[in-house]
Amino acid sequence: MIDEQIFVQLVKIGLILQECCSNLAVIQSPHCFLHRFNHQLAHYAIRVASQIQNPNLFIYNAFIRGCSTSENPENSFHYYIKALRFGLLPDNITHPFLVKACAQLENEPMGMHGHGQAIKHGFEQDFYVQNSLVHMYATVGDINAARSVFQRMCRFDVVSWTCMIAGYHRCGDAESARELFDRMPERNLVTWSTMISGYAHKNCFEKAVEMFEALQAEGLVANEAVIVDVISSCAHLGALAMGEKAHEYVIRNNLSLNLILGTAVVGMYARCGNIEKAVKVFEQLREKDVLCWTALIAGLAMHGYAEKPLWYFSQMEKKGFVPRDITFTAVLTACSRAGMVERGLEIFESMKRDHGVEPRLEHYGCMVDPLGRAGKLGEAEKFVLEMPVKPNSPIWGALLGACWIHKNVEVGEMVGKTLLEMQPEYSGHYVLLSNICARANKWKDVTVMRQMMKDRGVRKPTGYSLIEIDGKVHEFTIGDKIHPEIEKIERMWEDIILPKIKLAGYVGNTAETMFDIDEEEKEGALHRHSEKLAIAYIIKIWPPTPIRIVKNLRVCEDCHTATKLISMVFQVELIVRDRNRFHHFKEGTRSCMDYW
């Protein structure tokens, strides 16, 4: 029989070891060994515990605490119930961890159970219990319950406010979060981090970056957790200069480029168009895991590479990392972008067979697209109709895109009709369908589509392009009339660029603009597409190499051809990011092989 004091020491050591292992498990490979070790350790501790004749509350609290942050937080309840059965009364330490376990599980009914237990044992007024409850309700998204606990509290600290702020962000109420943030008397890094991640996770990337700047203005130094969201926001914005600045901040402040931050930096460089730097950072990372590899593979795919992402995928597997569903999304995208239909199908089939990963909607989407692009419309259609999951609008959208590329009006009309029913508010479907009709000279249908959009109040979003010059972002919109230098830009296009690229074989393609404007304006309007304006502007002044442009919509066929010719005639490298991917233009070649 083991002495209780010795056991207490054992549990302490065990818990510390367990925490160390869970950290180690993240940074080292192969993972399976450490997981097994972890499991064995827990098992060992439990076996030791069962040897004790009269375990006291301290021991149970240690287990409840240990489990609350483990992979199976529900075990906290297991030990809680065991303690009760043993006739032990839980104390003020027990409840916060029991409630925390429910938050970890994101299980509100269980959390309410925990809340009930705290009331039953008279700890409802305990400050730590209250903070834990606010946290738990905020985490499960029940902001009303969180607020109700919060409002009944006698005192607050930075943790209470921060938990409430996180809760507001979680339920999409950034305004209330901001209000509380401005009002609270004390803020620390976690508070700032909660605000920044709150914005970033709700796609308010500019706000996230603004908060980071405000944090610096306060004289605070961000840590890894903060900067991760800042860098990921830069990635989403496609703001390379801003992202580079954040990366420099990491280096200057000696922040560790750990697994998570490293992944964010790799993703940022890829999404901001500097894929070479993404690869370089990736190669230099000391710690790598499957998500890190996935970020690189997805980045390479985004840039139109095919062999490279597949090579990294095989390297990843060789090193013993187990691909996850999103890894396959990235790999299949790479095949799709490169038009590697057969290779894609092979990998798609291997997902379940060799890796036990059940294909999800996005994986099917990755297959419909290349099949359609390759002209195998029948197979693509069959694929959609025979899917075990109900196809969603992006999948039908991929099929519609294929109909547009291959001028298939019959299938296009059928698919378009389905899409208009599924998403009557989305302008893209009307535009694509009308373009399909326009290509087939079915002008009556084009008019019908136009009218339908008008009747339903659907508007096509305005196309815009962004370029960063000396750290300042310049915006150009289609048919721009408000840009202070618009006249010069237009003259640049008309007098210099257009004649030069015409000599190189450029013929304006007006088919796609049918939808936007009247016949006689067609060619003129085409020249006012935002990326052409941006290029004309940047070529006018000293052009950087490469010229980087970020577009909100997809690059149209005409702009694509024009950009390709500009890169050749003016001897400049252009990197254009549209809503889907990157296009690299250098000396008249392009990375996407006209697959876009």
Partner DNA sequence: GTAGGGTTAG
Site for DNA in 260-299 (CB under 7 A): 260-264, 267, 271, 289, 291-292, 294-295, 298-299
Q: How far is the CB of 187 from DNA (least distance, A)?
A: 8
Q: How far is the CB of 421 from DNA (least distance, A)?
A: 16
Q: How far is the CB of 270 from DNA (least distance, A)?
A: 7
Beta bridge partners of 477: 464
The alpha helices in 376-497, defined as continuous H runs, are 377-385, 393-405, 409-422, 427-439, 443-456, 486-491
- Distance (Å, whole) CA 64 – CA 422: 48
Residue 142's closest CA among 175, 109, 118, 120? Answer: 109
- Distance (Å, whole) CA 80 – CA 61: 8
- Distance (Å, whole) CA 309 – CA 294: 9
CB neighbours of 175 closer than 8 A, spacing ≥ 6? none
Compare residues 78 and 324 and give the one whose CB is closer to DNA: 324
Q: How far is the CB of 355 from DNA (least distance, A)?
A: 15
Binder among 18, 38, 75, 197 for DNA (CB under 7 A)? 197
Residues 15-54 touching DNA, rule: CB under 7 A, are 26
Compare residues 376 and 483 and give the one whose CB is closer to DNA: 376
Give the type of residue at 21. Answer: C
Q: Which stretch binds DNA (CB under 7 A): 28-36, 219-227, 484-492, 557-565?
A: 219-227
Q: How far is the CB of 432 from DNA (least distance, A)?
A: 9
Residues 497-526 touching DNA, rule: CB under 7 A, are none
Q: Which stretch binds DNA (CB under 7 A): 44-52, 106-114, 190-198, 468-476?
A: 190-198
Beta bridge partners of 582: 577
Q: How far is the CB of 207 from DNA (least distance, A)?
A: 15
Residues 312-371 touching DNA, rule: CB under 7 A, are 324, 326, 329-330, 333, 336-337, 361-362, 364-366, 369
Compare residues 10 and 290 and give the one whose CB is closer to DNA: 290
Q: Does 201 bind DNA (CB under 7 A)?
A: yes
Residues 445-484 touching DNA, rule: CB under 7 A, are none
Taking the mean position of all CA atoms in its chain, how far away is CA 456?
Answer: 31
Answer for the pair 567, 588: CB distance below 8 angstroms, yes or no: yes
Question: One symbol per residue from 370 to 409: x for binding DNA (CB under 7 A), - otherwise; what is it?
Answer: ----------------------xxxx-xx--x--------
Compare residues 186 and 495 and give the one whose CB is closer to DNA: 186
Q: Which stretch binds DNA (CB under 7 A): 77-85, 183-191, 303-311, 537-545?
A: 183-191
Binder among 22, 223, 418, 510 for DNA (CB under 7 A)? 223
Answer for the pair 141, 170: CB distance below 8 angstroms, yes or no: yes
- Distance (Å, whole) CA 80 – CA 47: 17
CB neighbours of 494 closer than 8 A, spacing ≥ 6? 527
Whose tokens are 């490169």? That residue is 338
- Distance (Å, whole) CA 534 – CA 540: 10
Q: Does 56 bind DNA (CB under 7 A)?
A: no
Residues 118-177 touching DNA, rule: CB under 7 A, are 126-129, 131-132, 135, 139, 157-160, 162-163, 166
- Distance (Å, whole) CA 432 – CA 422: 15
Peptide bond into 544 cis (omega under 30): no
Residues 229-258 touching DNA, rule: CB under 7 A, are 229, 232, 235, 258
**Residue 379 structure tokens:** 């197979």
Taking the mean position of all CA atoms in its chain, how far away is CA 379?
Answer: 31
Compare residues 301 and 572 and give the one whose CB is closer to DNA: 301
Answer for the pair 583, 555: CB distance below 8 angstroms, yes or no: yes
Compare residues 532 and 560 and give the one whose CB is closer to DNA: 560
Q: How far is the CB of 47 from DNA (least distance, A)?
A: 25
